[in-house]
Amino acid sequence: MSLHEVKDELHDALWNAQQEWFALREEGETKHGLKMAGLRDARDPNQYTRGVIFTGRTRATYERDLREFVKFCHERYGVQHLRDITAKHAKAFLEKAIDERWAAKTLHKLRSELVKLGALIGKTASFVALSAKYGEIIRGLQAGEVVAGPTRETPSADVVARAVEVLRERDERYYLAARLQLETAGRSVSCTDRITKESLKDGNVVEIVGKGGKVQAMVISAELHAKLKAHLEAHPGALADRNAYREALARAMREAGGRVRGSHGMRRWSTQDYYRQRYAARRRAGQSAREARAGARRDAVERLGHGRDRRDQANGYLGQAG
């Protein structure tokens, strides 16, 4: 079989994984429900999600990256079908990536993609075990500065304020999206393409649709709620296009003198600000510094749409000391 045909096999496997999700969704399933079922049945939140793909964007990213892996397997080992791929091949590709000094974030992403492929070809256990092993190896290499760690910078309060003011003067859509990100720590897509008039509820509540379609009802300021309502009534449809918003925000950040220009920096800033608020509130309620710190971290992670005990998310957004 030619390399082109093996890549076609990969495309079909990934496509079918997304169709599997569509079928589950039609039956009323949710990503959150699948994860809870995995925890209940196997103490593994990914037990029932490894064989499905939730979005076209994810599918396209997986296919782009895994095509390189399939090419590697075909050219180095003569692999003719996806079913011939084993954890041995995945290990060799991971070692190659480490030798080439791929960044830690990229290596971890590759681990996840390989596990997904392993699940799609019926070899989940061996690929999961390999991923766990190399997760530890990569973290060790990152600690020793052998591979580059992720850059998780957060814009300063002054830069954020100036950038939002630039957007206010330039385009109301992007100004409102930025304000919504700051008040909810929502993802850029959750605060643009997924916000419509129907998202606004009584009591200054806005429904934020996050990853996997999970909906969070969040209270925002009365002023922002009123501005959003007026704008969406005057301009039916989605609040803004996600990509256009991100480009506008990057320009505004640059004009404001900021180095961090991605919209995720706004999400990170909002999370850290919320953590400080929750820490102060818990201290006022009589908790010790240690109790307040732990509780505020959990509060902040839950607000991001994750489980309260997700230490990786807490460390990613707040740092080890947060």
Q: Using the structure block, give the residue that is written with the tokens 């052998």.
A: 146
Does 230 lie in the same domain as 139?
no
- Read off the tokens for 254: 């640059």
- Between 20 and 312, whose confidence is greater? 20
- pLDDT band per the 50, 70, 90 thresholds, residue 248: very high
Nearest to 191 by CA among 253, 250, 245: 245
- Residue 27: φ, ψ to 5°: -85, 0
Mean pLDDT across the chain, nearest whole number? 91
Percent of the chain at pLDDT above 70? 97
The answer to whether residue 149 is domain-embedded is: no
Per-residue pLDDT, averaged over 83-106, amounts to: 92
Say what the pLDDT of residue 155 is.
87
Q: How far apart are CA 116 and CA 232, in angstroms?
A: 39
**Spatial contact of 84 and 10, defined as CB atoms under 8 Å apart:** no
Does 161 lie in the same domain as 124?
no
Using DSSP bridges, classify how beta strands 200-201 and 215-219 pair: parallel, antiparallel or unpaired: unpaired
The boundaries of the domain holding residue 281 are 157-318
The answer to whether residue 177 is domain-embedded is: yes
Does 65 lie in the same domain as 195?
no
Q: How far apart are CA 194 and CA 239, in angstroms?
A: 8
The answer to whether residue 312 is domain-embedded is: yes
Nearest-5° angle of CA 230, CA 249, CA 108?
120
The answer to whether residue 249 is domain-embedded is: yes
The answer to whether residue 148 is domain-embedded is: no
Q: Average the pLDDT over each of 157-161, 185-189, 245-249 and give the range with the smallest value.
A: 157-161
Single pTM value for the model:
0.59
- pLDDT band per the 50, 70, 90 thresholds, residue 261: confident
Nearest to 181 by CA among 170, 167, 166, 192: 192
Q: How far apart are CA 115 and CA 50, in angstroms?
A: 8
Does 232 lie in the same domain as 124?
no
Does 133 lie in the same domain as 49?
yes
Say what the pLDDT of residue 149 is.
58
| Helix runs in 78-205, H state only | 87-99, 104-120, 124-143, 157-170, 172-184
Does 115 lie in the same domain as 190?
no
- Read off the tokens for 31: 């990503």
- pLDDT band per the 50, 70, 90 thresholds, residue 322: very low
Does 137 lie in the same domain as 194?
no
- Phi-psi map region of 131: left, alpha, beta (phi>0 left; psi -120 to 50 alpha): alpha
Say what the pLDDT of residue 199 is.
97
Give the CATH number of the domain where residue 313 resides: 1.10.443.10
**Does the pLDDT at position 124 exceed 60?**
yes
CA 270 to chain centroid, in Å, comes to: 16
Per-residue pLDDT, averaged over 87-108, amounts to: 92
Question: Structurally, how many domains does the chain consist of?
Answer: 2
**Spatial contact of 171 and 244, defined as CB atoms under 8 Å apart:** no
- Between 213 and 304, whose confidence is greater? 304
Does 188 lie in the same domain as 122?
no
Does 13 lie in the same domain as 64?
yes
205, β-bridge pairs: 201, 219
Q: How far apart are CA 232 and CA 308, in angstroms?
A: 33
The answer to whether residue 150 is domain-embedded is: no
The answer to whether residue 313 is domain-embedded is: yes
Say what the pLDDT of residue 314 is.
84
Q: Average the pLDDT over each of 61-70, 103-112, 171-180 and give the range with the smallest value.
A: 103-112
Q: Using the structure block, give the residue that is written with the tokens 């392993």.
A: 118
DSSP 63: H
Does 164 lie in the same domain as 48?
no
**Does the pLDDT at position 27 exceed 50?**
yes
**Spatial contact of 233 and 197, defined as CB atoms under 8 Å apart:** yes
Report the range out of 103-112, 123-132, 310-319 with the highest average pLDDT: 123-132
Q: How far apart are CA 268 and CA 172, in angstroms?
A: 22
- Residue 209: φ, ψ to 5°: -95, 110
- pLDDT band per the 50, 70, 90 thresholds, residue 77: very high
Does 90 lie in the same domain as 174?
no
- Read off the tokens for 191: 């605060």
Q: At which of 143, 168, 199 does a domain end?
A: 143
Residue-wise pLDDT for 127-185, tens only, equals 999 999 999 998 888 777 776 655 557 888 889 999 999 999 999 999 999 999 999 99
Span between the terminal Cα atoms of the chain, in Å: 53
Does 173 lie in the same domain as 117?
no
Q: At which of 91, 116, 143 does a domain end?
A: 143
- Read off the tokens for 26: 């039609």
Q: At which of 88, 108, 143 does a domain end?
A: 143
Per-residue pLDDT, averaged over 14-34, amounts to: 93
CA 166 to chain centroid, in Å, comes to: 27
Neighbouring residues of 147: CB distance < 8 A, sequence distance ≥ 6: 98, 101, 102, 103, 104, 107, 138, 141
Say what the pLDDT of residue 302 is.
92
